[in-house]
Homo-oligomer: A and B are copies of this chain.
Amino acid sequence: MAEIDFSRVKKLNLFEGYYESQLNALLEGATLKKLSHRDVVYRAGDEANSFAVVLDGALKLVKQTASGEDVIVFFASPGDTVATLLMSSEKSVYPVTAVAMGPAQVITIPKRTFNALWTKDQVIMGKINAILFARFSEMQEQKIFVKAPLAIRLARQIVSLIERFSGDSGAVLPIPLTRQEFADAVGSSVESVIRIMSEWSQQGILKTSDRHIEVIRMDRIAEIINGQDKV
């Protein structure tokens, strides 16, 4: 645990305002994990003994369908926690697989630390709730677009990711995303995603090089989401 970079940890909203001694307590038994692209943090079905806080980079939370296809349930960004709700139950198993997208850093924190210390701290539990609420909102938002045409769902997904990973600063997605992953996230096929994104590239709406996306015409993307692109 000594190797955890506190200066980075303290920058997370989650841990803001804590003294180093308090942080030491909250991170009792915690481990810093430096991940490379495609490293697995948790595997669906494994016994849930710890939860994770994302420090840097991104994780995708993936589940498999009966026919073996992947479905991306959520993208976790820095500050997000993963598997927190599992800590309350007696014995349980991770429902999804968490995989790093590009280089990433997470802290894994043992269940016992959560139950012994976190749950007694109303401030941090309030922040956890806020994180959960954000994830809830994202999933509900997605549900609202189920019936929308693929182009709209895709555009919404891109905007959502950019907002969460780049904030308002710029329109470049700092994480590598394959077309397949977009498809898995919006519930579609690679081919369809490619057709739409190629179209957008040709129209100069976005640019993509080596799985990194840059939105050039954010206004056009917004129009597409609002269904005004046919006008």
Contacts and interface: CB of A to CB of B under 8 A. Distances in A.
A139 interface: yes
16 contacts: A63-B140, A65-B147, A65-B148, A71-B143, A71-B144, A85-B133, A88-B130, A88-B133, A96-B140, A119-B125, A125-B125, A136-B136, A139-B143, A143-B187, A146-B146, A146-B187
A59 to B, nearest CB: 15
A137 B65 contact: no
A146 B132 CA distance: 22
A91 interface: no
Given A73-B143, A143-B187, A147-B69, A86 B226 contact: no
A120 B119 CA distance: 9
Q: How many copies does the complex hold?
A: 2
What range describes how many residues of A lie at the interface?
35 or more
A66 to B, nearest CB: 7
A95 B140 contact: yes
A29 interface: no
The residue in A63, A86, A187 that gathers the most chain B C-beta atoms within 10 A of its C-beta is A187
Interface string A111-146: 000000001101001100110110011011011111
B139 A89 contact: no
Given A88-B130, A146-B146, 8 more contacts: A63-B140, A71-B147, A73-B143, A88-B133, A119-B125, A136-B136, A142-B143, A147-B187
